[in-house]
Structure 1
Amino acid sequence: MNKNSKIYVAGSHGLVGSAIVRNLKAKGYTNILEKNHRELDLMDQLAVRSFFEAEKPAYVVLAAAKVGGIGANKAYPADFIYENMEIQNNVIKAAHDFKVTKLLFLGSSCIYPKMCPQPIKEEYLLSGYLEPTNEGYAIAKISGLKMCQFFKREYGDNFISCMPTNLYGPNDNYDLNNSHVMPALIRKFHEAVVNNEPSVEVWGSGKPLREFLYVDDMADACVFLLENYDGEEHVNVGTGKELTIGQLAEMVKKVVGFKGELKFNTEKPDGTMRKLLDVSKLEATGWKYKVELEDGVKMAYKWFQENYKN
């Protein structure tokens, strides 16, 4: 990649896309295309094709997606599968038709079977049943990953994919109805401190194990893969470390400074009980995460405090 190569980051205003733009600029890339949803609706096939025809990006990072936590995925499975597949189909096909040099597709660790051996290797994909609560989103992401593989196999397109673990950091979604567990906990504990509440509710039993990666580390891995990886198989991106949701809640509680009680609501779903990625393939290519979890939570909470009113 030349520093002046035209790079289109789809989803550049979201959690991952904005971090990728920051990383590219920090590395000296100067020709980055950013479009918000109002400027370019990625579900509009004609608009996407017109954009690619006019701009002719050399590189594409497909970080745009409809995303949400366990509650949103369970409530809106049709929306999650339809909107994500529409976005992927339009962007990947346009990238092929307008001869993009390289495309990076971002998926999610929820593509793996619910009862997967741990830690999860890339080859475990499609080896069992998915977690029902996010099946719609997972099937869409599997389809995007397979599209990239098949376009590479049939046409020789340099389309690659990576599958991140749970991400958090600046520009996360803090809507309690649709957010993931990390931003939900940060907001809940912050508001409990502000309102002097005696307790905070945590969804589920607190027993599921999860892995978390600071989003700027994820962005660094994405740019590294764009620069260094051309394989057909997707690549896991994570830390290789895990903790329980209960331990995470205690960590966020400490960072925010909440002194009250944790109440686990076992009527809410736990989701998959364990989901740890095997990141040995990525580490063998020369990349490893930098931000430890508690440091990342502190940075995420600082960003939240600065942007809470918005």
Structure 2
Amino acid sequence: MDTDAKIYVAGSRGLVGSAMVRTLQAQGYHNLVLPTSQALDLRNQAAVEAWFAKEQPEYVFLAAAKVGGIQANNTYRAEFLYDNLMIEANIIHSAYRHGVKKLLFLGSSCIYPKLCPQPMKEDYLLTGFLEPTNEPYAIAKIAGLKLCENYSRQYGVNFISAMPTNLYGINDNFNLANSHVLPALMRKFHEAKIQNQPTVTVWGTGTPLREFLYVDDLADALVFLMNTYNEIAFVNVGTGQEVSIKELALTIQAVVGYEGDLVFDATKPDGTPRKLLDVSRLEAAGWQAKTDLKTGIERTYAWFTDHYDTLRR
């Protein structure tokens, strides 16, 4: 991409989209188009088509999606399927119709089977049943990467897909009802510290293993892929490293400076025992994550404390 190329970041106010904007601007890209969801309803096909006809972006980062944690995924099942299908289909089709040079679709590691062999290779897609609680979201993301794959095959366009692991960072969702484990724990520890609570309870045994990628590293990987990767096959994006939920909780506790006790509630579900991406395809292409977990948590907590009064609750 030339630094003056017209780049559309769909979902520019979300966790990933805002990191994309930061990273693109830091790398000298200055011609960004960033309509808000209020200005452009991506579920509306006619509105998306009209916007592409008017703006004519050259490159598209498709980071817009309806997202949430396990409770939100399981509660709003129809919305997670419908909204995500409409968003991706409208943008991908309009990008094709209006001659976008390259599009990058952002998926999710939840596309893999519930009982997927570890670490999860790209070839394991559609080899087993999905996790039931987030099946609608996963199906929508699978449909998006298959749209990119088949538009590329049929029309010769350069539409690629990336599947990231668990993300965290600046501008995350810290709502305890529908956020993911890392931001939820950060908020729990912070509020326990300021309220002098003696204990913090963590769901499950603490033994499940998870992989976490700092969102600005993801954004750097996506710019790298946009500039260098032209394969139809989608690519995993992660660190290739895993940590137990107990280790994660202890790291967050140390960064926050909470001095009380940690209690694991084994009556609550652990979820999948292990969830790790195989990132050998990405590393072979020439990219590796740069931010270690503790550093990423420190940066996120600094932002969290600065914005605590205005967070989504």
TM bucket normalised to smaller: over 0.9
1 CA distance for matches of 2:99 and 2:52?
Answer: 10
> Gapped runs of 5+ residues in structure 2?
none
- 1:94-145 CA distances to partner (integer Å, 9 max, x unpaired)? 1111111100000001100111111111100001111112111111100000
1 CA distance for matches of 2:87 and 2:107?
Answer: 13
C-alpha displacement of 1:47: 1.1
- 1:50-106 CA distances to partner (integer Å, 9 max, x unpaired)? 110000000000001111111211222222111111111111111111111100000
1:143 partner amino acid:
A
1:45 partner amino acid:
Q
1:211 equivalent to 2:211? Answer yes
2 CA distance for matches of 1:106 and 1:308?
Answer: 28
Q: Which residue of 1 aligns with 2:285?
A: 285
- 1:237-285 CA distances to partner (integer Å, 9 max, x unpaired)? 0000001111111111111011112222344433222110011110111
Q: Which residue of 2 aligns with 1:123?
A: 123
1:70 partner amino acid:
I
Which shows bigger deviation, 35-44 or 282-291? 35-44
2:250 partner amino acid:
E
SS at match of 1:163: strand
1:160 partner amino acid:
I
SS at match of 2:309: coil
Q: Which residue of 2 aligns with 1:175?
A: 175
> Gapped runs of 5+ residues in structure 1?
none
1:45 equivalent to 2:45? Answer yes
Q: Which residue of 1 aligns with 2:68?
A: 68
SS at match of 1:105: strand
2 CA distance for matches of 1:132 and 1:208?
Answer: 18
Tell me if the contact between 1:8 and 1:33 (Cα under 8 Å) persists in the aligned partners: yes
Alignment of 1:1-310 (within 5 A): 1-310=1-310
Which shows bigger deviation, 205-214 or 292-301? 205-214
1 CA distance for matches of 2:90 and 2:270?
Answer: 34
2:27 partner amino acid:
K
1 CA distance for matches of 2:74 and 2:271?
Answer: 10
Tell me if the contact between 1:185 and 1:252 (Cα under 8 Å) persists in the aligned partners: yes
1:3 partner amino acid:
T
2 CA distance for matches of 1:267 and 1:83?
Answer: 34
2:193 partner amino acid:
V
2 CA distance for matches of 1:11 and 1:89?
Answer: 15
2 CA distance for matches of 1:178 and 1:138?
Answer: 17
Cα distance change on mapping 1:205 and 1:72 into 2, 3 Å: farther
Which shows bigger deviation, 214-223 or 62-71? 62-71
Q: What TM-score do you get using the length of structure 2 for normalisation?
A: 0.97
2 CA distance for matches of 1:45 and 1:272?
Answer: 37
Give identity over the alignment, percent: 60
Which shows bigger deviation, 149-158 or 200-209? 200-209
2 CA distance for matches of 1:76 and 1:54?
Answer: 33
2:75 partner amino acid:
A
**How many residues were matched structurally?**
310
2 CA distance for matches of 1:42 and 1:271?
Answer: 32
Tell me if the contact between 1:133 and 1:271 (Cα under 8 Å) persists in the aligned partners: no
2:232 partner amino acid:
E
SS at match of 1:95: helix
- 1:157-186 CA distances to partner (integer Å, 9 max, x unpaired)? 110000000010001011111101111011
2:131 partner amino acid:
E
Measured on the aligned residues, the alpha-carbon RMSD in Å equals: 1.0
2 CA distance for matches of 1:202 and 1:46?
Answer: 46
2 CA distance for matches of 1:196 and 1:155?
Answer: 61
- 1:182-217 CA distances to partner (integer Å, 9 max, x unpaired)? 110111100000111111122233221100000000
2 CA distance for matches of 1:268 and 1:31?
Answer: 48
1 CA distance for matches of 2:75 and 2:269?
Answer: 12
SS at match of 2:160: strand
SS at match of 2:144: helix
